[in-house]
Amino acid sequence: MPRRYDHIDLRVRSLSEARPFYEALLPALGFTRDATIEGWLQFESDDADGVTEFFGVTESPEHRPNECRVAFCADTISEVDKLAEIAARAGARNIEGPAYEIPQPGETGYYAVFFEDPCGNRLEVCHRTKN
């Protein structure tokens, strides 16, 4: 069972406010195919078998962000750094990191950047290392 999820549907209070941010961030995260769906911003990703995962964003004017966070996996520490720069240039808010959490012996290392989209939804890009 290699896939862990099928899709994410995220709500934002203003799609026009969030659109430039996600149009810059999602392709950098590997969601490279822009799907045209009325009322949505949706980017898809194909795997070798043609199975599609997608990240969709739609407007809900009464949406209020909460403490939930969506974390994206990066293959390397340098990829976390690159994606942190892309997020910052795209308008991410409340950026923390990237930083490395020093693991205890036998634990997995963790390097991550935390940030919010323009509507306050919490996101993260992380890389785990073996100790």
pLDDT digit string, tens, across residues 61-88: 999 999 999 999 999 999 999 999 999 9
Report the chain's terminal Cα–Cα distance, integer Å.
Answer: 25
Whether the upstream peptide bond of residue 98 has omega within 30° of 0, thus cis, is yes
Helix H, strand E, coil C: the string for 14-53 is: CHHHHHHHHHHHHHHCCCCEEECCCCEEEEEEECCCCCEE
Residue 50 or 21, more confident: 21
Evaluate whether residue 62 is within a structural domain: yes
| 41 three-class SS | strand
Evaluate whether residue 121 is within a structural domain: yes
Q: For 93-125, write each residue's pLDDT tens digit.
A: 999 999 998 777 777 889 999 999 999 999 999
Least confident of 10-24, 34-48, 84-98, 106-120: 34-48
Report d(CA 85, CA 26) in Å as an integer: 13
Q: Which residue range(s) make up the domain with 43?
A: 7-129
Evaluate whether residue 101 is within a structural domain: yes
Classify residue 13 as left (phi > 0), alpha (psi -120 to 50) or beta: alpha
**CATH number for 91:** 3.10.180.10
Evaluate whether residue 1 is within a structural domain: no
Evaluate whether residue 111 is within a structural domain: yes
Amino acid at position 98, single letter: P
> What is the tally of structural domains in the chain?
1
pLDDT, residue 6, reads 86
Helix H, strand E, coil C: the string for 79-101 is: HHHHHHHHHHHHCCEEEEEEEEE
pLDDT at 45 over 60: yes
